[in-house]
A and B are shown apart, each in its own frame.
Chain A
Amino acid sequence: NAGVTQTPKFQVLKTGQSMTLQCAQDMNHNSMYWYRQDPGMGLRLIYYSASEGTTDKGEVPNGYNVSRLNKREFSLRLESAAPSQTSVYFCASSEPTLGEQFFGPGTRLTVL
């Protein structure tokens, strides 16, 4: 089992460019999450999907869109990247009745 995988691992964008961060899990979990972590800070929830077909805003959703493509995949899109979106992005999945979330290795994004 690969667990939670994220692509790409690193990305550099120019202001105004768009991109999609991909996340997939092979644990058959119902819920998936996107977090961002700025230097020296804790993780902040951007969006989550409690189950296939649903998505909800987290703490910091502005500037992002998400798609729960199927039970395995949950993507995060930046339509017009801004320097304030420079961060490390983590995807996670869980079975909510168990509580434990499993995290991917992260995508390090720099917006110039």
Chain B
Amino acid sequence: DAKTTQPPSMDCAEGRAANLPCNHSTISGNEYVYWYRQIHSQGPQYIIHGLKNNETNEMASLIITEDRKSSTLILPHATLRDTAVYYCIVRPRGYNQGGKLIFGQGTELSVKP
């Protein structure tokens, strides 16, 4: 599975957009980009995933560059409840190795009033 690189921490003002970058320069053609977040002491929560097109759901938007070597998770109007560690993971979709995820260190996002 491709390796990802994320900044260890970021700050964001409440109500502003939070843009979390992820580098995955060795991603292969069949690998998807997944984002999860973990609010303090809870189990991780799925946010969004994509292959090559930009994706949006009720939680966030995912922008993947045309060469697929990097992506950005966007929380359009960050709230204090979005303070969490955000993990970017790349993996093939489907039954390859039972769908396992390999978590990196993630980005600790602090949303400040």
Question: Taking beta carbons and an 8 Å cutoff, which residues of A are in contact with B?
Answer: 4, 30-31, 33, 35, 41-45, 48-51, 54, 56, 58-59, 88, 90, 92, 94-97, 99-106
Is B97 a contact of A101 with CB atoms below 8 Å?
no
Interface size on B, residues (CB 8 A): 28
Q: Which residues of A contact B41 (CB under 8 A)?
A: 88, 106
Q: Indicate which residue in B34, B38, B44, B87 contacts A99 across the interface (CB closer than 8 Å).
A: B34
Q: Which residues of A contact B87 (CB under 8 A)?
A: 42
Question: Taking beta carbons and an 8 Å cutoff, which residues of B are in contact with A?
Answer: 32, 34, 36, 38, 41-46, 49, 85, 87, 91, 93-106
Q: Taking A41-B105, A43-B103 as contacts, is the C-beta distance between A97 and B42 under 8 angstroms?
A: no
Q: Taking A49-B98, A96-B98 as contacts, is the C-beta distance between A42 and B103 under 8 angstroms?
A: yes
**Complex formed: what's the CA distance from A30 to B96 in Å?**
13
Q: Which residues of B contact A30 (CB under 8 A)?
A: 98
